[in-house]
Amino acid sequence: MNTSEVINPDLAKERQNATVKLDEMKSFLGEMIYLNQENYRSAIKYRDVMVKTIKPISDENFYNLERDQKYQMIFKKSLEMFEFVNENKIESVMSLFNIGSVFGLEKILFNLHFTMFRDALNVWGNPEQSAYWQKYLTENAVFGTYVQTELGHGTYLRGLETTATYDKFTQEFIIDSPTLTSIKFWPGGSGKSCNFAIVMAKLIIDGTDHGIHAFVVQLRSLIDHKVVPGIEIGDIGRKFGFDATDNGYLKFDRLRIPRNSMLMQFAEVSPSGQFTRKGNELLMYATMLLMRGNLPLVGAYYLSISSTIAIRYSCVRRQTADSNGVEPQIINYQTQQIRLFPALASAYATLFSALNLREILLSIQKNSDNFKNISPDDLAKLHALSSGLKSLVFSDCLKFAQSNRLCCGGHGYSASSGLSQIIQEADAACTYEGDNVVLLLQTARYLLKCAQKGISPHLEFNNFNDVKNSNIYKQFSEYLSFFHRLYEELSNEVTGKLFKLVKEDRMAPLDAWNCCSFQLTDIARVYIEIFILNSNLLCVYKNGLIENQRALSDLMELYILYSITDNYSGNFLRMNILKPETLNQFKEKMLDLLPIIRKNAVALVDSFDLLDSNLCSSLGAYDGRAYERLLDFARKSQFNEKEVHEVFHKYLKPFAQRQKLRSKL
């Protein structure tokens, strides 16, 4: 349904009254997302061509389809996307924001092929292997996935139980699932779609365990797509979400693969079975960090979508007549604003911090010759930062996606709202690539090591001295000092407690760590908050247009005040950093910001430059014609295809006849 020619008058008025310069804000965000203006313009050009070449799922009645129909549609469009990329010789189109213009919140089925599978071949394979596989992938319709998680273990690599036992007589590895818990479970695209995989397994030679290594394993025939003998493969069944994705299980039964199937850039097994480590093994882990390092951008994308939907709909929806009989827009209610605007502020804060992390990752990648010369200190820093930021981003994303759903009332519960899909995606992201709590503890471990060495874990950004001399920094410096003080107090408290438990109470270090784990997650959160605040300061400072910089600084202040009063107030009070009356003042200040932000709320979500096909939402479409779209979605339900459902003939009609017969007796 195309209703974009007629804009809801309330939404049109919001755009007309905004002070934010929309085109300039779009350009500012686009340049940061795509690294420069040239990339941004190119990406938008290809995006516009792509949505004309590949029909977006928002135009396909996707959320009224059954699971198998969804799978087939996404499979077809994934292949069309693959061909589009090859024909246009482009890589930037694979950006999440561009893929989403066709797929909405759904995942391209071969996402792991373009990321972990190809990266593993290029980085973990030696030069001969990388060259071989690059040629093989070009000549064949190979689509790969990455297989690590098992029924019993996930991100804990050393706990994996799948084995790769070397047979020196045949010069083959025997891939096996020796236990129930060793069966691979959850890999995306492995149930029905992919024909190859990178399988992480424990290398065994002559009974000796040589740790976890990567093996290239063919799963299905390239001719008829049948499963290779020696593997049991299937889809794991229905999940909370991801209906179109075939997450699979794989049980290996002494599957034999050639010796050169082991990727041997960092370790090698000779034909005679001699095991040798080589190269910089840190590179293997640095490559895996690239995946986690990009996840906060995914969270920012989800949060920008849910805020766009909820804010636009809140301008369209009117509720409860005033004394003049006029129903106000629900965005005018303070109780609506206090839920909508912290979510919007978090969307921008998340985006800026995710982009800053990506910049740090790219800088270290460049300075270390594509991670070949990465130092242990840099790797530890990246691991701590990417782990903690991923945890905070998706925790907030899930919280605010649910809040935004509630802000849309009953209509927000419709699949056509686009909000349930975001909740499902954010929910899953709190677990995949590392459970959020476990990741915070990994960040905390790094922070404790820094404390033991007497060094600061906080990053010094490039050109940050210019920021420190600016009025923007002066505006926020006191807030920053509060968080720095909180970090120091919490750090001193937990290190003191750990010392007492281990040295004085003679507790085992692991038990002492467990006794302090809740406090350790607190210091990790505050550490990441400081990174988020500094990242936002840097980005707000970079925006030189006064109207837009003012709008961004208002959002940042709201983000800080909300964090202090809602997320950390207990610790601020407990550590005597802030007094109750100060927190009350901050709460009032936060409420005073709401009507200021309200003026630019629509312009700020429009600045994300999301197409309707990104949103897949009846409530959040650019034209604001929510009610027409809701009714259109209802009419297209497959449940409505027959005027009389078969249950009438099977159950209700016989029941009525029995009732009639009984009434005559």
Question: Three-class SS of residue 523?
Answer: helix
Question: Are the beta carbons of 623 and 7 closer than 8 angstroms?
Answer: yes
The rounded radius of gyration (Å) of the Cα atoms in the chain is 27
472-476 LR contacts (CB < 8 Å, sep 24+): 472/537, 472/540, 472/541, 472/549, 472/553, 473/537, 473/541, 475/553, 475/557, 476/533, 476/537, 476/556, 476/557, 476/560
| Residue 377 burial (CB count, 10 A) | 9
Closest CA to 165 of 262, 277, 304, 88: 262
Question: Are the beta carbons of 116 and 198 closer than 8 angstroms?
Answer: yes
657-664 LR contacts (CB < 8 Å, sep 24+): none
Structure tokens at 385: 């930062």
Closest CA to 530 of 443, 639, 648: 443
Structure tokens at 98: 């561009």
- Count of residues for the chain? 665
Active site residue 433: yes
Q: Residue 115, annotated ligand binder? A: no
The catalytically annotated residue of 14, 106, 425, 433 is: 433
Cα 428 to chain center, whole Å? 9
For residue 433, the 8-state DSSP code is T
Q: Give counts: helices (H), strands (E), the chain.
A: 25, 11
Closest CA to 552 of 586, 591, 593: 593
Question: Three-class SS of residue 211?
Answer: strand
Question: Are the beta carbons of 436 and 395 closer than 8 angstroms?
Answer: yes
Q: Phi, psi (5° rounding) for residue 55?
A: -65, 120
Q: Residue 149, annotated ligand binder? A: yes
Binding site members for FAD: 149, 188
Residues serving a catalytic function are 433
